[in-house]
Structure 1
Amino acid sequence: MNKNRNQAFASFRVLIATLVISVVSLSQLPGKFPAFLSITQVLAQTPEQLKMRKWSQKKKLANNLYWQGKEYYDNDHFKIALPLFEEAYKIYQETGELKSEVITINYLGDIYDVLGKYSQALKTFQRALVIYKEAGDNLGEAKTLNSLGGVYLNLGQYPRAFVFFQQSLEIYKKYGKFRQIDSLLNNVGVTYAYMNQYSQALTLYRKSLNITKRLGNRQGEGGVLSNMGKSFYYLGKHRRAMDLYWDSLIISQEFDDRFFKGLTFNNLGLLHTYRREYKEAEKFYQKSLEIYWESGNRIREAEVLRNLGWLLFKTGKLPEAEKTLLDAIKVMDSLRQGLNYADQVSLFKTQAEAYRTLQSVYIAQGQAAKALQISEQERAHVWVDLLSTKSSLKLVSQSSNAVDFPEQNLPQSLTSSINLPTIKKIQQIAQAQNATLVQYSIIYDPLKIKGGRIGQESELLIWVIKPTGEAAFRRVDLAPIWQQQNAYHSSLGYHFWTISTTTNLYKEALTRNWHRQDAITSIILLVGGIIGFALFGRRLVINLFIKPLQPLKRHWLFFWLFSSLVATVGGGGLFSWEFLSLMTDLSYSNHQSIFFAEQLEQSEQLQQLHQLLIQPIADLLPSDPNAHVIFIPPEPLLLVPFPALQDTSGQYLIEKHTLRIAPSIQLLDLTRQQRQHISGLNEEALIVGNPTMPIFTSEIGQPPEPLPSLPGTQQEAKAIAQLLDTTPLMGNQATKKMILQRMPKARIIHLATHGLWDDFQGLWSTLALAPTDDDSGLLTAAEIRKLPLNAELVVLSACDTGRGRITGEGVIGLSHSFISAGVPSVIVSLWSVPEAPTAELMTEFYRQRKHTQDLAQALRQAMLATLKENPNPIDWAGFTLIGESKAITAYQRAQKLDTEVDLNPNTPEVIEKLKNE
């Protein structure tokens, strides 16, 4: 109601302003007869004069609207200012007032940003940037770059925001604009703070504060103090944070700076919540909410509602907490409108805490079914929207409103705004998949701040839904893990990946440089020793780094030992992530263990994960090893290779179950529908191996370098192509253009090449293909999503294909893109997989696939076969099947051919094709 009234009021003001300008214009016409004589004179003017008068009146109207809008803007009445600026902007465009247009467009962009209309904000600022660049206005360009950085900051795309801020800062430094430099330093500091780099943030805040004081900008000083206080809060220096908050609040009240008043009230609420002074905290949250409600700042409103919801949950006010968190989710939902896929994903990651807290509320109320629905919605939000929008697939939540537990129906206010699967539909999905679904959710305690990291894993929630419809819920307390000396580093899955990747990188580099015995080799050995000693202790160093060196000359061994000792004692300052990034593209084919130094350490880690993730639900899993188990993990567990988890007897999980994963339960229903829509016309298999490698820039500012060749994938492609009766594309033949032409016609797509992810660019994972004169050879995830694919299976047998930027929607990488393009089944690797065992595993997979249409079972048998010859998990456990497991049979394709081209499936031609398969 208030929103409609404000919009009506703004429209009324536009109308009044138009009438005022018209009356003033008529009253200024010459003549003694104000009414009819003035009108007669106007009519007697030439068309050119009338046009000039009309334009003059429009300019006056636009200027009037602009100044009224600016007055409301300066007083934080953004909703009222918006239609005034929009109308002024239209007139300036019509009359060709470019200077006024670009000034107005910047105000419009700021308002769109504040009101959470991010898509419009980005378009508006991009338009302004074009105008400034064409006009050669560097300062205007800098202002717009700063504004674009602010939008991306709100969207959670911090690396991109950082780049825009830095570009703006460089321009302002060039012109010596200290007030703007002050603002940019503060913005860059905020970006560091959002990335949990609080010490770097404080360094920039202090620089900003010094400039602010020299300029006498007391109002700006208040904003910097509030930001500094928040960094000190997360560093655990709460008394210092409190002092800074109050200093900021005094200044904000002095200048009636409503934005920073609202921000500081929220920060004070957080601090009092941490101190368990809940009544004081609630008062500050309410004050902050009032400001953001009035100004229309939606993203800040959602943040405060989320914090307030958690406070209400902690104080046992569960109904109030539920309502508040649902309100926060509704606000956040409204912010996604019009955004592209990448922006939606990054924005949603900043908002996931409200979903997790709401799960805790429902669990506390004894409503595990509701908690499952919210858990599912948390991870499926962008996935389902993207797929259902792109295709004609029908969401499970839209097909029925019936549920098994009517007393646990979610509020209508929530279900009307977002698509939630009912419990009954989740059970139907399990039945349709003929699989046991296992969904995990990790709950965080935001008051646990350790080493500047916000929140600590406090509880693991597990739901198990059997094909029969039977559902169960289990909880695991994670507090004991943090009390152990050997607790996981930052998250459960990341620790697992770090160990495997670090050891893999070292051994790959060692193998490649074995014959060189030069300074490069010694540096690699030194870095490997430092990593091993720092992360895993001396036992790993001895077994993994010293034993393999025995074939080397003795003086190299002594050089490495001495260098490692000096580096370790001196602090290990030679560690370089850039150096490790370079090594990730190297190959390794050694059959000895590179996952851990000793089998004992390996088993301990695998058993810890098994005890945490599998043991609590082991009695609920099927006893038949051929029965499917589908894991739906949250983001910290996405890199866990479930097949390699070991029970106390040392048996791997893959030996007891047929496994696959999915980013969400709803996705399983959508991929099943995608499988049913696949055309029967496609018979081609597209096999790509070791294309001529393109050059690739891993970081901004770094020179591009060619990716290393993968000769092992060439043999893999040849062997698989022979099994599938086709010819592989390799070397210079495997160009991006050729592959894009053949992809829509392929039933099976197998790509054995480098798969890269570019976290700086956000979500654009990349496949390396052969370059041409007019093409880089890099096929991005964004391009893949747009392809009209009709394949039933894509296999990404490549380096790092699974590890896209991790978010709540699943592994956001190339697998996501292929599923979005219509592929129901994708097999990816979770880490850099050695070439030789990969070739063995993939060849065995296709051999097994000839005997079964169950892709998960074929992959399981291939893993078990590879396990016999290569017992180390790094060699066989990295591959995972995402999505559908049932392949389309030859007879089903023949039936589709019958439907599509009026072919009789019993004709000799079709029968012969079936025999060949």
Structure 2
Amino acid sequence: MSTAKSKANCQLQIKLICVFVSFIIPVCGSVPFIASQVVAQSQTTAKTKGDEYLHKGLKYYQQSQFTLAIQSWQDALKFYRQSKNRQREGETLGNLGLAHREIGKYSKAIDYQQQALKIFQELNNRQAQGQLLGNLGNLYSVIGDYKKAEEYQQQSLTIAREIKDQVGEGFSLGALGMIYADKGNYSKAVELYLQSLAIAEETKDSQRKAGILHNLGSAYQSQGKDNQALEAFQKSLNLARELNDRNIEQKALNSLGLIYANFKDYNKAITSQQQSLKIAQEIGDRLSEALVLNNFGHTLFTSGKLVEAEKKLRLSVNILDSLRENLGDRNKVSIFDTQLNTYNLLQQILVAQNKPGAALEASELGRARVFAELMERNLKSKSNSNSKSKVIAPLTITQIKQIAKQQKATLVEYSIVPDDFLHQGKLKAPELELFIWVVKPTGEVILRRVNLKSLRQQNTSLTKIVTKTRNALDPAENSEFINKKVVSQGLKQLHELLIAPIAEDLPKDPEERVIFIPHETLFFVPFTALEDKNGKYLIEKHTIVSAPAIQILGLTHQQRKRSQGLAKDILVVGNPTMPTLKVGDPPYQLYQLDGTEIEAKEVANLLQTKAIIGKDATKLDIVKKMPKAKIIHIATHGLLDDIKQLGVPGAIALAPSGNDNGFLTSPEIIDLQLNAELVVLSACQTGRGDITGDGVIGLSRSLLTSGAASTIVSLWDAPDDTTKALMISFYKNLKADGDKARALRQAMLSNMKKPLNPTHWAAFTLMGESE
């Protein structure tokens, strides 16, 4: 392996330093495995054919001709495998991983790097292992999985220090600096960058220095130190041009464009971004091209050139969509999270042009895209379709109107717009504005805008209000008592922000459905319990459903039509013998829920079936029964944990048996191929999970993906006695009416008369189909 100054700064990480929603793209060091000793050897001894291909690929790589580099390295790989040269095979695989990353083929890049890592572990080559761990860390940063990125970089840094690899240590320090920047800890990022810069200067690594200077400028800009950022970016650009490193030159030009836009020097900003865009296109760096187009669009937007701005953003969106192809579903969600600012910016540009319908299309582009792809894939597999579309087509405004008509409902979609503020990665920007679209069954589309800046004067935000209110409603967060005053105040504040601006646009008939499509933190809003100035709850005025996206509604409708008549059983489960939770130390067995056993027996009696309880409710048996059931009611513990560490949180506690631990996890549910018209999870917090651009990653998403037409889940720990009463009332109403939303509404209204506060009756929400 090498410490050669080859392409030491080839890799970018997505670091979202936003001016409005613009990106600075840091450069992160990853060195190709083509070694300096191979080059030296070629001058004194005859090279093998494989070495010729390897060296040729390096030349192409240094010239940013990544496709040609891949072709050469593929030829080298064939030769080394035939000659059983494991060292060179590992080096070539590592190089192929870097080149595929440069052209946006992240799934292949990860695979190549993992293959290379395995070889060098077998060869006990610690230096190569350290470098590959760092490269994998960089890759996971690109797709937005910062937890894995940090784990890999820390391992890489440990190895570099153990073997006294100063260059490797510099790379790891710089990469960790970017991860700290992603977390918003810019002072720590600057500290790490300066350490990495010192190593680059000591080892006279000019390319590394150019990359670190760029990243340092990025951190300075995040701190609002534009003059220091400008100086660092300019130094980076000068060095890159001296070295003929087009990769760093492109990124430095893009970053300078952002600085000039901050200074309102739009001519310089546009010139820099045009130059950056040209280089990105010439070297085939698709991700950089998309991000420069985003920044270019932002500059045009802020300078008042709205039509040109829209064109740039649409080009950016097309590229970003293509970059998600071939990734695994969880990695698709991660990278999608890093791309959301582009979709937000497109919405703002379209709203500024008074195009509410087109802006709603853009809003849908920025939510639940991976979710929709999963659902469509499952639908096609069940219908034996041969179609293999990789990216589901986004909805048009015509299709959105058709779904509103099809659902016989008024659709309400929210979009939280971030403020014009420097922020980065997953660090949330202050909330600027709320877009609310109302789509009536008649096809009328209305856009309302709510200014959120005033909340800052009250030292609060929409997110803080949602969190405080939900926590105040949750008995698990309030060991002594529910503070009714805090609950009522929060529900009224949320009503004023979310409902009052559209109150006149909603149907007057309380039997007509309203389907809410939340955004970000709004997924945890109990819409049924929002309280107007007169103390009237929203459920008293409207029949309420929710969905993660309008496109998901279209797909659940298809699932309901497809599954009609395929499943006839009724499955009711309650209080299974509880499994042992091994997440944490020490492991412990979950406590039994005697109240759920009573609930399950009463529900089963009402639905004319027998409840499965206790030791009979094994996961293995229940999983076999679920695809044959048209109604599934499960009353047990719901967990938010990622039980099997698969990257998807959520699990249902069922009875263990044999070697099975009893936990039915979200990833396992996706594979069940359900045909249910309704799945009710009468358990704690089953509607919660990780909030992402793809919606809430958890149990409800997995159930709908697996084929359920609708699901009822909870937002907090509802008390056993009132949950039982709510469920019995719900099923009685469902038998009489047949409409799930109306049945749930009537159950809530019945419980409300007791009288009880919303903690007792508003925890559950219906997602998906109502009929």
Could you state the TM-score of these two structures normalised by the residue count of structure 1? 0.74
**Aligned position for 2:635:** 752
Does 1:227 find its partner at 2:201? no
Does 1:91 find its partner at 2:62? no
**Aligned position for 1:558:** none
Does 1:420 find its partner at 2:305? no
Q: 1:208 to 1:709 in 2, by over 3 A?
A: farther
**Aligned position for 1:651:** 536
| 1:266 aligned to which of 254, 264, 285 | 254
Distance 1:680 1:236 in 2: 61
For residue 130 of structure 2, give the secondary structure of its aligned residue in structure 1: helix
Q: Which amino acid aligns with 1:447?
A: F
**Aligned position for 1:577:** none
Does 1:843 find its partner at 2:728? yes
CA RMSD of aligned residues (A): 2.8
Q: How does 1:46-445 map to 2 (within 5 A)?
A: 60-392=48-380, 419-445=393-419
Q: CA deviation at 1:416?
A: 13
Q: CA deviation at 1:819?
A: 1.0
Distance 2:190 2:742 in 1: 53
**Aligned position for 1:713:** 596
Distance 1:451 1:83 in 2: 34
Q: Which amino acid aligns with 2:458?
A: Q
**Aligned position for 1:470:** 444
Q: CA deviation at 1:91?
A: 3.0
**Aligned position for 2:706:** 821
Contact preservation (8 Å) 1:754, 1:800: no
Deviates more, 1:250-259 or 1:262-271: 250-259
Deviates more, 1:131-140 or 1:806-815: 131-140
Q: Which amino acid aligns with 1:716?
A: E
Contact preservation (8 Å) 1:431, 1:467: yes
**Aligned position for 2:506:** 621
Contact preservation (8 Å) 1:235, 1:451: no
**Aligned position for 2:478:** 507
Q: 1:209 to 1:607 in 2, by over 3 A?
A: same
Contact preservation (8 Å) 2:733, 2:743: yes
Q: 1:181 to 1:779 in 2, by over 3 A?
A: farther
Q: 1:425 to 1:771 in 2, by over 3 A?
A: same
For residue 433 of structure 2, give the secondary structure of its aligned residue in structure 1: strand
**Aligned position for 1:905:** none
Q: 1:506 to 1:425 in 2, by over 3 A?
A: closer
Does 1:734 find its partner at 2:707? no
Contact preservation (8 Å) 1:684, 1:746: yes
**Aligned position for 2:765:** 880
Q: 1:776 to 1:726 in 2, by over 3 A?
A: same
Contact preservation (8 Å) 1:156, 1:349: yes
Q: For residues 267-290 of structure 1, give each alpha carbon's deviation from its aligned partner in whole angstroms, at most 9, with x where no partner exists.
A: 332233233332232233223223
Q: 1:444 to 1:62 in 2, by over 3 A?
A: same
Contact preservation (8 Å) 2:463, 2:521: no
Q: 1:735 to 1:131 in 2, by over 3 A?
A: farther
**Aligned position for 1:900:** none
Q: For residues 61-80 of structure 1, give each alpha carbon's deviation from its aligned partner in whole angstroms, at most 9, with x where no partner exists.
A: 33222211111112322122
Q: CA deviation at 1:880?
A: 0.9
Deviates more, 1:366-375 or 1:728-737: 728-737
Contact preservation (8 Å) 1:235, 1:452: no
Q: Which amino acid aligns with 1:813?
A: G
Q: Which amino acid aligns with 2:339?
A: Q
**Aligned position for 2:687:** 802
Distance 1:875 1:233 in 2: 48
Deviates more, 1:331-340 or 1:844-853: 844-853
Distance 1:76 1:383 in 2: 35
Distance 1:706 1:812 in 2: 25
Distance 2:173 2:462 in 1: 31
Distance 1:270 1:76 in 2: 24
Q: For residues 779-831 of structure 1, give each alpha carbon's deviation from its aligned partner in whole angstroms, at most 9, with x where no partner exists.
A: 22222111121111111222222222212332221111111111110111123
Distance 1:164 1:451 in 2: 18
For residue 869 of structure 1, give the secondary structure of its aligned residue in structure 2: coil
Q: Which amino acid aligns with 1:309?
A: G
Q: 1:294 to 1:170 in 2, by over 3 A?
A: same
**Aligned position for 2:497:** 612
Distance 2:477 2:414 in 1: 33
For residue 345 of structure 2, give the secondary structure of its aligned residue in structure 1: helix
Question: Larger RCO: Structure 1 or Structure 2 (Cα < 8 Å, ≥ 6 residues apart)?
Answer: 2
Q: Which amino acid aligns with 2:571?
A: L
Q: Which amino acid aligns with 1:123?
A: D
Q: CA deviation at 1:703?
A: 5.5
For residue 851 of structure 1, give the secondary structure of its aligned residue in structure 2: helix
Q: 1:649 to 1:679 in 2, by over 3 A?
A: closer
For residue 624 of structure 1, give the secondary structure of its aligned residue in structure 2: coil
Q: 1:174 to 1:449 in 2, by over 3 A?
A: closer
Q: Which amino acid aligns with 2:321?
A: D
Deviates more, 1:105-114 or 1:838-847: 838-847
Contact preservation (8 Å) 1:644, 1:652: yes
Q: 1:697 to 1:224 in 2, by over 3 A?
A: farther
Contact preservation (8 Å) 2:130, 2:168: no
Q: 1:681 to 1:186 in 2, by over 3 A?
A: same
Q: 1:300 to 1:844 in 2, by over 3 A?
A: same
Q: Which amino acid aligns with 1:458?
A: L
Sequence identity (%): 43
Q: For residues 236-289 of structure 1, give each alpha carbon's deviation from its aligned partner in whole angstroms, at most 9, with x where no partner exists.
A: 333333333334334434434433333333233223323333223223322322
Contact preservation (8 Å) 1:790, 1:823: yes
**Aligned position for 2:661:** 776
**Aligned position for 1:581:** none
| 1:485 aligned to which of 445, 455, 458 | 458
Q: Which amino acid aligns with 1:829?
A: S
Q: 1:491 to 1:207 in 2, by over 3 A?
A: farther
Contact preservation (8 Å) 1:782, 1:817: yes
Contact preservation (8 Å) 2:635, 2:683: yes
Q: 1:155 to 1:695 in 2, by over 3 A?
A: farther
For residue 391 of structure 1, give the secondary structure of its aligned residue in structure 2: helix
Q: Which amino acid aligns with 1:470?
A: E
In structure 2, list runs of 5 or more residues that go unmatched: 1-45, 384-388
Q: CA deviation at 1:328?
A: 0.4
Q: For residues 515-544 of structure 1, give each alpha carbon's deviation from its aligned partner in whole angstroms, at most 9, with x where no partner exists.
A: xxxxxxxxxxxxxxxxxxxxxxxxxxxxxx
Contact preservation (8 Å) 2:431, 2:462: no
**Aligned position for 2:626:** 743
Contact preservation (8 Å) 1:464, 1:620: yes
Distance 1:170 1:124 in 2: 23
Distance 1:776 1:321 in 2: 54
Q: CA deviation at 1:743?
A: 1.4
Distance 1:469 1:329 in 2: 27
Q: For residues 834-884 of structure 1, give each alpha carbon's deviation from its aligned partner in whole angstroms, at most 9, with x where no partner exists.
A: 333323322322222222211111111122222233622222222111100
Number of residue pairs aligned between Structure 1 and Structure 2:
719
Q: 1:672 to 1:506 in 2, by over 3 A?
A: closer
Q: CA deviation at 1:645?
A: 0.8
Distance 2:723 2:190 in 1: 47
For residue 416 of structure 2, give the secondary structure of its aligned residue in structure 1: strand
Q: CA deviation at 1:490?
A: 4.6
Contact preservation (8 Å) 2:412, 2:437: yes
Distance 2:113 2:103 in 1: 15
Give 1 or 2: higher helix fraction.
1
Q: 1:753 to 1:187 in 2, by over 3 A?
A: farther
Q: How does 1:851-862 map to 2 (within 5 A)?
A: 851-862=736-747
Distance 1:697 1:227 in 2: 41
Q: 1:602 to 1:416 in 2, by over 3 A?
A: closer
